[in-house]
């Protein structure tokens, strides 16, 4: 306030400078998390795009969290009050994002509220990004559904089940391709919004929605 009264800089300049600096800071820690966690978890290394998109979702989500923190700190008078409010903001995000309860199964008005839940789009984007792969044309599900164990070395499909998984699924392997994996998670194009004709397009659309929610 004193600097603004002395006309050193305007409130708008201070706000923009702080937003830019904080955004760069919030983008650094997701970079470290991606560099360490991505190879440890054995995520999709099929192309560099997969790693970049994973980092992009972490960075966007980190900045959204920081933005929510700034809003809460501006609205409440003390740190204790902010700590009391924070769980009430975080828990609905986790409940309505579709991780524990499918979005289609949420009753109204919670299903409508889920459209403004930022974690929903981060989750959809990360899951879809992980299961973007080029399935070989030789992978014919009708042929390789019953393949398991040591015979998996001969399977051209993206995934293969062991004997226990096949036995638990009535003698067939339920997941052979990336599309099968997304369907099992209710994250395929027919089950989520927004979605595109390709998985890569769906990843980009979810990142765009997440960026829009961050801006507004």
Q: pLDDT tens digits for 43-89?
A: 998 889 999 999 999 999 999 988 888 888 888 888 888 888 888 88
Mean pLDDT across 153-157 = 87
Instruction: Name the token pair of 199.
Output: 């998985």
Report how far residue 139's alpha carbon sits from residue 149's, in angstroms, rounded to the nearest whole number: 17
Q: What are phi and psi of 130, to 5 degrees?
A: -65, -30
Residues 87, 183: Cα–Cα separation, whole Å: 31
Query: What average pLDDT does the segment 182-198 reach?
Result: 88
Q: How many CA atoms lie within 13 A of 118 on its CB side?
A: 21
Lookup: tokens for 151: 């015979």
CA distance linking residue 127 with residue 146, whole number of Å: 26
H/E stretch holding 14 reads helix 11-41
Does pLDDT of 1 surpass 70? no
Instruction: Give the pLDDT of residue 208.
Output: 95
The sign of the CA dihedral 112, 67, 73, 119 is: positive
| pLDDT over 70 at 181, yes or no | yes
pLDDT at 4: 61
Q: What is the mean pLDDT of residues 103-123?
A: 91
Split at pLDDT 50, 70, 90, the class of 40 is: very high
Least-confidence region, from 4-8, 53-57, 148-152: 4-8
The pTM of this model reads 0.85
pLDDT at residue 2 tops 70 = no
Q: What is the mean pLDDT of the chain?
A: 87
Gap between the Cα atoms of 71 and 87, Å rounded: 15
Reference 102, options 206, 185, 190; nearest CA is 185
More confident residue, 30 or 162: 30
**105 has a pLDDT exceeding 80:** yes
Bridge partners of 148, per DSSP, are 161
Is 121 in contact with 205 (CB distance < 8 Å)?
no
């Amino acid at each position: 306030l004193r600097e603004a009264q002395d006309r050193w800089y305007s409130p708008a300049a201070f706000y923009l400078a702080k937003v830019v600096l904080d955004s760069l800071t919030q983008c650094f820690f997701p970079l470290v998390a991606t560099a360490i966690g991505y190879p440890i978890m054995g995520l999709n290394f099929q192309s560099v795009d997969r790693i970049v998109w994973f980092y992009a979702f972490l960075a966007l989500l980190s900045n959204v969290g920081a933005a929510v923190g700034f809003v809460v700190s501006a609205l409440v008078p003390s740190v204790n009050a902010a700590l009391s409010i924070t769980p009430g903001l975080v828990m609905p995000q986790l409940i309505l994002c579709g991780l524990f309860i499918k979005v289609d199964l949420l009753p109204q008005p919670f299903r409508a509220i889920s459209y403004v839940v930022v974690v929903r789009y981060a989750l959809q984007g990360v899951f879809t990004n992980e299961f973007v792969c080029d399935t070989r044309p030789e992978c014919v599900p009708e042929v390789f559904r019953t393949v398991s164990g040591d015979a998996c070395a001969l399977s051209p499909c993206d995934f293969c089940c062991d004997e226990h998984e096949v036995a638990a699924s009535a003698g067939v392997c339920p997941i052979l391709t990336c599309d099968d994996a997304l369907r099992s998670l209710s994250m395929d194009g027919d089950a989520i919004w927004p979605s595109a004709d390709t998985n890569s397009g769906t990843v980009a659309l979810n990142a765009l929605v997440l960026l829009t929610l961050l801006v507004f």
